[in-house]
Amino acid sequence: MKSMEKIVSLCKRRGYLFQSSEIYGGIQGFWDYGPLGVELKRNLKDAWWHDMISGHNELVKPESAPTPFEMVGLDSTIIMHPQVWKCSGHYDLFHDHMVDCRESKKRYRFDQIRGRWVEYQDKKVFVTTMAEAEQELEEVRRRGMKFFRLRNKDADKITVGDESLTLDKLDSTENVLAPDAKSLDTLTEPREFNLMFKTTLGALGGEDDTTFLRPETAQGIFVNFKNVLDSSRVGLPFGIGQVGKSFRNEITPRNFTFRSREFEQMEIEFFCHPDQSQQWYRYWRDRRLAWYKELGLSDESLIMREHHQEELAHYSVGTADIEYAFPFLPEGEYGELEGIAHRGDFDLRSHMEGKLDPSTRPMQVELGEDGKPKYRGSGRDLSYRDEATNEKFVPHVVEPSAGADRGALAFLCEAYTEDEAPDEKGKMQTRTVMKLHPRLAPIKAAVFPLVKKDGMPEVAHEIYGELKRHMNVFYDEKGAVGRRYRRQDEAGTPYCITVDTDTLTDRTVTIRDRDTLEQTRVKIDDVVADLRTRING
């Protein structure tokens, strides 16, 4: 199993990710992307945008799709009218369950506290910890011994359970030792905690001026459905894609960038006829899983998990999660990478008529005590008229919703590899290499002169300048060429171009492949085309 500790260390050392406001001690749940990290994340978003939106050919029916379809883009605001969040259900329903520890005064998300049963003599307690998965067993054992007041020499007198459980799987918290407590039964009953960040519009700051930072990008698409329909001449089926920031006031952000308070989403809202919605749901579910595999995530690390009925959101007809085996999770467990939801007509109807009542089937507008809609809709007609059949209906929606930050983290975890490669003297040495797909790699190629003389730097400058017009490349002439290779391997650079003595006579260079270590001679005039083929092939 890969070590999350090593991956986090590399991310800091090589400039992939930094703790936000680190010089002031950091701020939990917020992360900054360094010089390599910002390129990786941008490349991931660009790949998604090209493959899903701008590169889509609406004239051709993709394999397994019911029909051809159109795709367009949108960029909506982070702050929207407060009524958006009332009609969408976020104002009432967007919450997690939290517990407070009466002893430590700390707050935790109920379903994120993990622990194991620990037995000593005739007493059995559930010892919890917020440590990462790879430290969990050791930390539970340490805390269990401390609770029972045992010394190291008595370690074999306690029994630690094999099964790691979250707190929500227990019937009671009576025998629970909270993560930062010394006594049992210090946790309160779970309570609902709204995850939206409040903010204020205007200068007065009264209750009527309260609004929220968006917790998802989807609602910006729904409220613009009619605008896109009227301005773009698109017809059903079609999708609207958006990449943008979202904010959730997570109770216990943890696991590196997996659960953050500020994050970026890559979302599609795909509008279709109700009779075809199940087919489109299956199409997008399978297509999105295949996309991750095309960019390098392995079959062994990915699963597709259909939600059980009790897990479904209030709007959902069906939901599947693409999950990845992140190294911070216990072996055999997976974390959500992307959700594909069949949302039915909930969103468009809610923004037309008012917030729908999730307890009704079929869903009806939720009424207040006065018998009027609890949260009034816009009153705008968001239905669709099919010009060919003259049929009028509210489209159903399929939503593939991916996290750019979780995606970047998954690709970093997948890419981290330790193998052996010869150094400059031919001796085998352990090599740390980030085997990122060339489309995602922050630096596409590095250019080296073999030595800093004999005209080699001048030729290397020429090649570097030409490549820089087409892609992100790096120039390095410091140190032995073997060490330069190692630096680029650790940064994830897929190709290194070396100018040597032969270059000065035949105008060819060596292109070295990061993964296979194969070296190929290529004419200088062909380098740009050769790299483009390698990267996009």
Q: Is 13 annotated as contributing to ligand binding?
A: no
Q: Is 353 annotated as contributing to ligand binding?
A: no
Q: Is 403 annotated as contributing to ligand binding?
A: yes
Closest CA to 401 of 468, 339, 359: 339
What's the rounded Cα separation, in Å, for the pair 275 and 157?
63
DSSP notation for 54-103: IT--TTS--TT-SS--EEEE----SB--HHHHHHHTHHHH-EEEEEEBTT
Q: Is 336 annotated as contributing to ligand binding?
A: yes
Q: Is 285 annotated as contributing to ligand binding?
A: no
Q: Which residues contact 388 (CB under 8 A, 6 or more apart)?
A: none
With beta carbons less than 8 A apart as the criterion, state whether 152 and 191 touch: no
Q: Is 337 annotated as contributing to ligand binding?
A: yes
Q: Is 267 annotated as contributing to ligand binding?
A: yes
Q: Is 338 annotated as contributing to ligand binding?
A: no
Interior/surface letters 168-186, b for 16+ CB within 10 angstroms, e for the rest: eebeebeebbbbbbeebeb
Q: Is 214 annotated as contributing to ligand binding?
A: no
Task: Quickly list H helices, 372-455.
Answer: 404-415
Q: Which residues pair with 322 in a beta bridge?
A: 304, 338
With beta carbons less than 8 A apart as the criterion, state whether 378 and 352 touch: yes
242 sits in which H/E element: strand 238-247
What's the rounded Cα separation, in Å, for the pair 339 and 333?
17
Q: Is 249 annotated as contributing to ligand binding?
A: yes
Amino acid identity for residue 257 in this structure: T
Amino acid identity for residue 52 in this structure: M
Q: Is 103 annotated as contributing to ligand binding?
A: no
Q: Tokens at residue 29, please?
A: 């749940």
What's the rounded Cα separation, in Å, for the pair 16 and 170?
38
Q: Is 265 annotated as contributing to ligand binding?
A: yes
Q: Is 299 annotated as contributing to ligand binding?
A: no
What's the rounded Cα separation, in Å, for the pair 37 and 291?
21
What's the rounded Cα separation, in Å, for the pair 410 and 337?
8
DSSP notation for 464-486: HHHHHTTS-EEE--SS-HHHHHH
Q: Tokens at residue 405, please?
A: 């930050």
Q: Is 15 annotated as contributing to ligand binding?
A: no
Q: Is 515 annotated as contributing to ligand binding?
A: no
Task: Quickly list H helices, 186-276.
Answer: 218-222, 225-232
What's the rounded Cα separation, in Å, for the pair 327 and 294?
21
Q: Is 404 annotated as contributing to ligand binding?
A: yes
Q: Is 126 annotated as contributing to ligand binding?
A: no
Q: Is 250 annotated as contributing to ligand binding?
A: yes
Phi, psi of 360 (to 5 degrees): -95, 145
Q: Is 248 annotated as contributing to ligand binding?
A: yes
Q: Which residues pair with 373 in a beta bridge?
A: 367
Q: Which residues contact 57 (CB under 8 A, 6 or more apart)?
A: none
Binding region for substrate: 109, 216, 263-267, 399-403
Binding region: 109, 216, 248-250, 258-267, 336-337, 399-406
Binding region for ATP: 248-250, 258-263, 336-337, 403-406
